[in-house]
Each structure stands twice: as C-alpha cells, then as structure tokens.
C-alpha cells in the first residue's frame, strides 16, 4: 500500500532532531467504516455509556479530506514534543492548505524537510519548535518553503518505539 | 477551447517534491537500467545536455556537477494520478495524454475567463502536488500542445496568440 521513499538520499537527517521521513502516499480508496459510539468518553468522571452504534465513521475519510494532496510522514526527534509530537509519531500532511500562523507545518529548510510551528518571534514571522533546546528560526532572509500543513498527529500509546 | 497541460521536467520535478535539496541544481533522471537521460532539470538543459543521450556520453565536468537519479516509475505514476485528480477537482473533463501531459476541455469560457482559469489551475496543481506545470490554450489539441511547447522552460499558462487579437 505504501510506496517506499525513492532513492537513497533520505529527506531526513540523523544528527538533527525534528526532521521527518516521508513514508508514502496516503491511499484514499480504502474503506474501513467502523461504528461510531454516540456520546462522549469523558476524561474524568465516568458517565453512563449511551451505546448507540447506528452511525459509522471511516477514519481515512475523516482524517484525509484531500487524498491527492496528502502524505503520511514519520516524525523524528524530540524538537516538537511541546506540541504533542513525539519521536516516531505518524503525521498526516496536507499540501493543499495555505498555512496560517500557529499551524504545525512541514517546511523545506536548507534543502531538508523539517517539522516546525509557523509562529512569531520578536514580532517577526518565525519557525518555532516545541522544545527550548531548539531555538526559533526567524524567517526574514531565510530561504524556506512550506511543504505542507500537518493536520493530524497519530501517536501510539501502546508499544511505542515498535513500528 | 482545449487546454494542454505539461508537467515541467516531470521526473525531475517529482524527485524535487521529496528532496528539496535538488532545487536549483542540475538534475537528470535515467531510463530503466540507468542507460540514458530521460528527464533533465532546466539547469541541466542550460548546460547544453540533450535529451536521451547515453549517460556515458556526458562530459566529465558536467557529470561531476549533476545529480543523476534512477527512475522510480511507481512514484511517477502515483504523482501523475495526483496531478490528474487535482485537475479533475478543479476544472472540466481531463484527458490524460501521457504520464506528464493532459488535455483539458475548456468549452464555454470567455477569453478573460480562460486566461484566469488556466492560471488558477496551474497554481492549484503546483500547490497541491508540488509539480510545476505549463498550460497552453487553443481551439484544438494540436494547437494547444504547440502553444504550450513554446513556454516549456517556464511554468506558466498561455493562450494561442490568434485568440488574443
């Protein structure tokens, strides 16, 4: 289902954190609609489950509204932990969206793809990380290009580290 | 009216989507078995390297500064499918002509609307897929193709000159 990343020159860079690997295309044709439980699961006091299962949800459709412009990427490193993106999390990246301030984006910086937050620093547009160990990068005079907007981050709570 | 869309240096452009470091460098993509050059970046064309030449005929000084890549046809096919899907979501009927060319039915649009629509289409494809395309618009497929070919080094859209008189 996934086309491996071509060539031997990887987009990612081992010695720097926050870079990403492109895993392959997102396939929009798969159909795995599962029952959607009505009611909410509250974090806190348990509520009486109201188990109506008459609606279904297709996760692919829900997460990937633009399959022809979307990619799965694997996050690497610890630079975005402050935004809830941990090493080896799976990112869904949509190229068709215009980034706005506050978005988590994949950006081509110095010829490499990296994951940052588009934000402001000292009143200037800047690329921010989610870790004080990685200082902001002011965008003025820096050649960089938005590659896509990260719309979702899939974080495994079980078996982390195993892919 | 018919639009002809050509993906600029398609195989090179596909690799550049995933490897931004290739931007601005002379890049060539080789045929199956790495025999001949089948795609050249504008930088490689500017060095006077003709299309289709066997790779052993590349002058050593050119070869040293050029990034040569093997073909990845599954990836090229997928990116071609994405270009067509993006166009179909934006414009009228789209007819794939080759892996990197499409004809577009643009019937019923005024001259100004044609120009604006072709330009919008070009920008949407560039944004969504990362592939730069050129679009030529003319009354027939043949003329549309020939108009587009006159602008092939740049990603832009253009109308058949007689239409603009």
Chosen from B67, B75, B80, B124 to mutate, greatest number of chain A CBs within 10 A: B75
B65 CB neighbour count, 10 Å cutoff = 11
The residue among A149, A51, A136, A72 whose CA lies nearest residue A104 is A149
Chain B, window 89-148: residues with a beta carbon less than 8 angstroms from a chain A beta carbon = 89, 124, 127-130
Q: Look up A79 and say whether it is catalytic.
A: yes
pTM of the predicted model, to two decimals? 0.82
**Within an 8 Å CB–CB cutoff, is residue B70 touching chain A?**
yes
Residues of A in Cβ contact (< 8 Å) with B128: 66, 68-69, 95-96
Residues of A in Cβ contact (< 8 Å) with B34: none
Supply angle C-alpha B21, B27, B33, rounded to 5: 120
Give, as one character, the DSSP assignment of residue A68.
Answer: G
Name the residue in chain B with its Cα closest to that of A28. B82
Q: Is the dihedral of CA A61, A65, A71, A72 positive or negative?
A: negative
Name the residue in chain A with its Cα closest to that of B81. A68
Put simply, the answer to whether B19 touches A7 (Cβ < 8 Å) is: yes
B78, B95, B101, B148: which one is catalytic? B101
Chosen from B19, B69, B86 to mutate, greatest number of chain A CBs within 10 A: B19
Nearest C-alpha of chain A: how many angstroms from B17? 8
Put simply, the answer to whether B128 touches A11 (Cβ < 8 Å) is: no
What would the two tokens of residue A96 be? Answer: 């068709």
Q: Which residue has the tokens 């289709």?
A: B52
**Within an 8 Å CB–CB cutoff, is residue B86 touching chain A?**
yes
What would the two tokens of residue A84 be? Answer: 């809830």
Put simply, the answer to whether B128 touches A96 (Cβ < 8 Å) is: yes
Q: Minimum mean pLDDT among A46-50, A147-151, B25-29: which range?
A: A46-50
Average of pLDDT values for A15-22?
A: 54
The whole-angstrom separation of Cα A111 and Cα B25 is 11
At A6 the pLDDT is 38
Residues of B in Cβ contact (< 8 Å) with A106: none
Task: Please report, in tens digits, the pLDDT of each residue of chain B (165 residues total).
Answer: 899 999 999 999 999 999 999 999 999 999 999 999 999 999 999 999 999 999 999 999 999 999 999 999 999 999 999 999 999 999 889 999 999 999 999 998 888 888 899 999 999 999 999 999 999 988 889 988 888 777 655 666 777 666 554
Q: What is the DSSP secondary-structure string of B36-47?
A: BEEEE-HHHHHT
Residues of A in Cβ contact (< 8 Å) with B72: 6-7
Nearest C-alpha of chain A: how many angstroms from B69? 7
Q: Minimum mean pLDDT among A50-59, A106-115, B35-44: which range?
A: A50-59
Put simply, the answer to whether B20 touches A9 (Cβ < 8 Å) is: no
What would the two tokens of residue A35 be? Answer: 């029952």
The whole-angstrom separation of Cα B134 and Cα B42 is 14
Confidence of residue A110 (pLDDT cuts 50, 70, 90): confident
**So what's the ipTM on this one?**
0.83
The whole-angstrom separation of Cα B15 and Cα B109 is 35
Of B21, B78, B86, the CB nearest to A111: B21
């Amino acid at each position: 289902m996934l086309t491996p990343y071509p060539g031997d020159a990887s987009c990612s860079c081992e010695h720097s954190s926050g870079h990403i690997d492109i895993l392959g295309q997102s396939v929009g044709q798969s159909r795995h609609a599962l029952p959607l439980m009505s009611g909410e699961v509250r974090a806190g006091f348990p509520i009486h489950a109201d188990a109506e299962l008459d609606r279904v949800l297709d996760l692919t459709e829900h997460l990937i509204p633009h399959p022809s412009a979307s990619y799965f990427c694997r996050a690497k490193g610890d630079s975005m932990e402050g935004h809830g993106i941990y090493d080896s999390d799976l990112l869904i990246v949509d190229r068709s969206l215009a980034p706005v301030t506050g978005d988590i984006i994949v950006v081509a910086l110095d010829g490499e793809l990296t994951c940052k937050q588009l934000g402001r620093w000292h009143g200037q547009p800047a690329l921010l990380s989610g870790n004080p160990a990685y200082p902001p990068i002011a965008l003025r005079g820096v050649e960089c290009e938005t590659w896509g907007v990260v719309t979702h981050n899939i974080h495994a709570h079980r078996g982390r580290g195993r892919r | 009216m018919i639009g002809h869309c050509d993906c600029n240096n398609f195989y090179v452009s596909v690799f550049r989507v995933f490897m931004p470091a290739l931007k601005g460098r002379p890049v060539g993509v080789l045929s199956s078995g790495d025999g001949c050059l089948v795609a050249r970046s504008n930088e490689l064309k500017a060095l006077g390297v003709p299309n289709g030449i066997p790779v052993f005929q590349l002058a050593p000084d050119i070869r040293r500064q050029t990034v040569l890549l093997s073909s990845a046809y599954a990836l090229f096919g997928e990116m071609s499918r994405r270009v067509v899907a993006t166009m179909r979501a934006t414009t009228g009927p789209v007819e794939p002509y080759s892996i990197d060319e499409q004809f577009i039915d643009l019937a019923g649009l005024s001259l100004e609307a044609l120009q604006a629509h072709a330009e919008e289409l070009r920008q949407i494809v560039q944004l969504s897929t990362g592939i730069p395309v050129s679009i030529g618009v003319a009354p027939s497929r043949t003329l549309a193709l020939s108009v587009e070919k006159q602008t092939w080094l740049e990603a832009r859209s253009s109308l058949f000159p007689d239409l603009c008189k």
